[in-house]
Structure 1
Amino acid sequence: MSTGPLNPETSTSLPSPPFVHLKGIPNFRDLGGYKVAGSDLIVRRGYAFRCGEPTSATPEAIETIRGLGINHIFDLRSLPEIQKMQVAGTGPKTVDWPGVTRVFTPVFREESYDPVSLAKRHADYQSEGSEGMVNAYRTILTEGANSYSIILRHILEDARRSKNTAETALIFHCTAGKDRTGVLGALLLSLCGVPDEVVAEEYNLTEAGLGEWTELLVQAVLKQGAASEEGARRMVGARKDSMINTLAMLRDEFGGPENYIVTKCGLTEAEVAEIRHFLVVGE
């Protein structure tokens, strides 16, 4: 089933930073540059990038990615999702870019969790409130801890190798770059001390970053059982209140980002402190 363009892009009309214009990859942006509450510090720029499904990247886009120093890409999609390619509709495909190592880190190994699949699974996902999204994100936090741990340990290795200078960079992505990617991005920003409202604004950038894919996703979600176009748009969207309430749930049920990483991802408090120290820098 083809539900998306073969050649999406991160548009030149989007602000840069944080977006990086790339043909063939939607929703590509830098997770850095956000201010840490109560300080003159920011999240390190040019280190962690997030995006949607990247396998249609043009040769020029790949060269741009390599020019950013990116040498690892963490794929959060499930195997069935890769095989179906529900958004791009191109059949099984993964990245194979010279000098860039792909690490398969599925949040759900045998279960698709893109917006189209969620339309089938979560009836409350299309409700007017944020409860459905928060429920989905609770599941991502619970099921994705092992995958997130792999990425966090990679960041820890970079922190120990690079000390005060980021010598390399990384990408993490799912299909739309909204849910599994968005939860991990929020976890990292919250760990660094970025205020909830700012984390939610960063999450909301996905609505612009998806560009023309938004309409294609809406139509795909409608075909998979959304009750209305309005409900489908809520499912595809990245509303700020969904992330605000997810962060509240992260604190209430998991003890906050640091405690989640320690108790669910298996890192020590000292290791979490190393990651935070590496990710938080002066302007």
Structure 2
Amino acid sequence: MADRHAAGTARMSTGSPHSTVDHSRRVVALEGMHNVRDLGGLPVPAGTTRFGKVFRGDFPIALTGATSAAEAGLPIHSIVDLRRGSEAGREQIDHESLGIRFTTSSLVTDHGTSWTATYYDYLVDGPDEIILAVRTVMDDAENGVYFHCAAGKDRTGVIAALLLDVLGVEHPLIVEDFLLTDVGIANILERLRAVPGYEGVLAGRTLDQHRPQVAKIEALLESLNEDWSGAEGWLLAHGLPLEVIERFRALMIAPDPQ
């Protein structure tokens, strides 16, 4: 298992000093990457999400030049890339040589840019891509799966919120997980500005404009509750089989000791 940051760092970053979760156990430190988290270690009804199954984050640059994902510190056999096609060409890894199953699920919205669109817009404009991403994560979780966009904030945050809501993680903790991105956002932006194709996109925007916004993730969770009685309702209505969700829950939830 990869090294983890010093205890307490991640929890302090959420702005929630009374959190019942030590998020530092979930933060994975990998070379050149600043936003990798394990979806394990979160309380759910009658249990806790399992470590070592599902990871979220920024572009997996740590895998560049590695002979295996495990060597780089990421115990996975599958990657879901949420970037659009032209963007994905800016940075790539040789997934075939690493023996990693690779799935592209381009999350896009017709409602402006990632700065102006709501997170719910991704669900409205690209439901098929959302379902592809979620199903792939659920199907591949047993052997370790990593999903990412460029920074691991917006598109990655949407998929993470859907997965965690399905597992029964309380909304305040989903928000806390989302806010952990703030710890590494400055380093992520510094790295991306050196990648051809990103410099123009990032130019003229301040660090504060790139920080994770609580209102956006809360609005997504509220819309899912109000319109679909939660993420499960939306996923089922858009074609994800119930047995896939149930199998994912059985894998991901470690029951509390009796």
Counterpart of 1:139 in structure 2 is: 121
What letter corresponds to residue 84 of structure 2 in structure 1? S
Counterpart of 1:239 in structure 2 is: 213
Structure 1 residues 78 and 188, CA, compared in 2 at 3 Å: closer, same or farther? same
* 1:88-143 per-position Cα deviation (integer Å, ceiling 9, x unaligned): xxxx53443512122122123xx8x9xxxx9xx359x4xxxxxx5xx431121223
- How far off its partner does 1:30 sit? 0.5
Contact kept in structure 2, 1:250 and 1:257, CA below 8 Å: yes
TM-score by length of 1: 0.70
1:213 maps onto 2:212 in alignment: no
Query: Which residue, 59, 62, 84 being the options, matches 1:53?
Result: 59
Contact kept in structure 2, 1:28 and 1:209, CA below 8 Å: no
Q: Where in structure 1 are there 5+ consecutive unaligned residues?
A: 1-9, 86-91, 126-131, 160-165
In 2, Cα distance between equivalents of 1:55 and 1:155: 20
- How far off its partner does 1:275 sit? 2.4
Contact kept in structure 2, 1:11 and 1:211, CA below 8 Å: no
Structure 1 residues 63 and 217, CA, compared in 2 at 3 Å: closer, same or farther? closer
- How far off its partner does 1:279 sit? 2.0
- How far off its partner does 1:153 sit? 3.0
1:268 maps onto 2:244 in alignment: no
- How far off its partner does 1:263 sit? 1.1
Contact kept in structure 2, 1:203 and 1:238, CA below 8 Å: yes
Q: Superposition RMSD on alpha carbons, in Å?
A: 3.3
Aligned-pair identity (%)? 27
Structure 1 residues 158 and 78, CA, compared in 2 at 3 Å: closer, same or farther? closer
What letter corresponds to residue 248 of structure 2 in structure 1? I
Counterpart of 2:87 in structure 1 is: 81
* 1:217-236 per-position Cα deviation (integer Å, ceiling 9, x unaligned): 79866635x5xx4xx613x1
Contact kept in structure 2, 1:178 and 1:238, CA below 8 Å: yes
Contact kept in structure 2, 1:156 and 1:275, CA below 8 Å: yes
TM-score by length of 2: 0.75
Structure 1 residues 62 and 239, CA, compared in 2 at 3 Å: closer, same or farther? farther
Query: Which residue, 24, 33, 40 being the options, matches 2:32?
Result: 24
* 1:129-174 per-position Cα deviation (integer Å, ceiling 9, x unaligned): xxx5xx4311212234322322433355457xxxxxx4x1000000
What letter corresponds to residue 93 of structure 1 in structure 2? Q
1:93 maps onto 2:92 in alignment: yes
Aligned 1:1-283 pairs, distance under 5 A: 12=5, 16-36=24-44, 39-55=45-61, 57-59=63-65, 62-64=68-70, 68-83=74-89, 85=90, 93-96=92-95, 97-108=97-108, 121-122=112-113, 125=115, 132=116, 135-158=117-140, 166=142, 168-214=143-189, 223=203, 226=205, 229=206, 233-234=208-209, 236-264=210-238, 266-282=239-255
Q: Where in structure 2 are there 5+ consecutive unaligned residues?
A: 11-23, 194-198
In 2, Cα distance between equivalents of 1:222 and 1:178: 14
Q: Report SS of the residue matched to 1:42.
A: strand
Structure 1 residues 206 and 144, CA, compared in 2 at 3 Å: closer, same or farther? farther
Q: Report SS of the residue matched to 1:50.
A: strand
In 2, Cα distance between equivalents of 1:248 and 1:258: 13
In 1, Cα distance between equivalents of 2:125 and 2:229: 17
Contact kept in structure 1, 2:78 and 2:100, CA below 8 Å: yes
Structure 1 residues 223 and 75, CA, compared in 2 at 3 Å: closer, same or farther? same
- How far off its partner does 1:21 sit? 1.2
* 1:43-80 per-position Cα deviation (integer Å, ceiling 9, x unaligned): 12110001111245454695446765310001111111
Contact kept in structure 1, 2:162 and 2:231, CA below 8 Å: yes
Contact kept in structure 1, 2:4 and 2:26, CA below 8 Å: no
In 1, Cα distance between equivalents of 2:69 and 2:244: 33
